[in-house]
Structures are given as structure tokens and as C-alpha cells.
Amino acid sequence: MYFVANWKMYGNLSSLNTLNKVIKFSKSKAINKGRLIYCPPNTLISPLSKKFSNCQIAIGAQNCHENESYGPFTGFVNCKMLKNIGAQFVIVGHSENRKKGENDKLINLKIKSALKAKLKVIFCIGETLVEKRKKKTKSILSNQIKIGLKKVKNKSKIFIAYEPVWAIGTGIIPSSNDLIKTVQFIKSKFKKKFPKILYGGSVNPKNIKNLKEIDNIDGFLIGGASQNANKFIDIVKKTYS
């Protein structure tokens, strides 16, 4: 199972001291076969990479510019630069960025750029509450996958993170039956080997007992709860208890 900590726009250098517990935990048997991935703000990727150098915790970025090479793009960072400072993964297509104007065609360019830089991609997809109520979940997800992964050949480096927009930060999660069916639908979009499927959206220590019963998912993309070391460790422990 994969446990991806998306810190969003939180954290500073002093926050790194809170991760000593996580580092110790990552070396224990309690983690079972879980794989931990931290995606902090870009300002913390390099120091976090150094802090995790003696353990198996991987580092990811939260977004990237679509341009493969350097250029006049003030305030942006491309995948080559992220790779250079220690990132191994990058989150692409998060709903918070889609709300800011990222569309599927732009996300497609970012995915291609990330793969070219030899980064693994956590590709976020998900429907809004309005789309869900109109029963458009399948068509929305299908379109996001079709355009987002257009002409992407190396899908073995892609993780699909299903994050229903209506679940992010609300404390509400899909029913087990709905989640099983949705993940199965996502997998049906891939003719050959399935990509790893993660679930994200209000994952916390209280609901992980229900979420872990969904046997067709490969892990979780965790937002707010991942900013607290104890809660993050608790999520991992309860997944295997």
C-alpha cells in the first residue's frame, strides 16, 4: 500500500523536526509493506530529501510547469528542476489546481514532461458534487483519463488518484459500494496492466478502517491528516491492523 502525504501550502524548516517520529516508524515492522511518500511545498523538497536520506521514504512535488526545458516562466518550476533537488514523484491534476484553471490538455503536457524527467506521476481525477448528482461521474472520469493520458506510452510510472472533489476537506467519503464500483470503472479504462489506484479525499484515522476494506485500491492520498505525524502514522497502522 502507498501512503502519499500531500502537505499542500503548509510547513517550514522547523516542521521537518516533527517527522522524526515518521522516520523512526518507517524503519519499524509496524509499517508492514507500506510505502510512504511525502509531497511538501517546493521550498522543503531539498531539505526533506536530505532528512530522508537514511530511510525508505520517497519525496514528491505537488505540481509542475509543463515546459520540459528552462525558460521565461517567472514563479514556476519544471520537472527537470524538481528531479534535481530530490523529487521522485509529482502530483498532477489536483482539483485545487483544476479550479485555478488547469484543464485536461495542460495536465496531459505536464504528465509527459514529468515522465520525460523520469518522475513518477500521481495523476488526480475526480468529479464535483454537481456532476455526481447529475450522474456524470463516469463520463467525467473517462474524459479526464482519456485526455490526460493521451499519447502517454509509459503508463507503468502513473498512479491514478481518485479524489472526488466533493470529499476533499469535507469529512465525507464515498460509500464502500460506490468506491468499489468507481475504482473498477477506472481500471476498465486500461486494456493492459492497471496503474496503481489511490483514493484521496478526507482520509483520516477515523475512516481508514472503512477505506482499508476496499480491496481494489492500492493506497491513499492524504491531505490535512498527513500534516500531523501522529495522525499519519495512525492511518498506516490502522490500515494493517
Catalytic positions are: 94, 163
Residue 76 in contact with residue 52, Cβ under 8 Å?
no
Grid cell for residue 156? 507503468
SS3 32: coil
Question: Which amino acid makes up residue 192?
Answer: K
Long-range contact pairs involving 68-74 (C-beta distance under 8 Å, separation at least 24): 68/113, 68/116, 68/117
- Rounded to the nearest angstrom, the gap between the alpha carbon of residue 91 and the centroid of all alpha carbons in its chain is 5
Alpha helix positions (H), the chain: 20-26, 42-51, 79-84, 95-98, 104-116, 129-133, 137-148, 176-188, 208-211, 229-240
- Rounded to the nearest angstrom, the gap between the alpha carbon of residue 183 and the centroid of all alpha carbons in its chain is 15
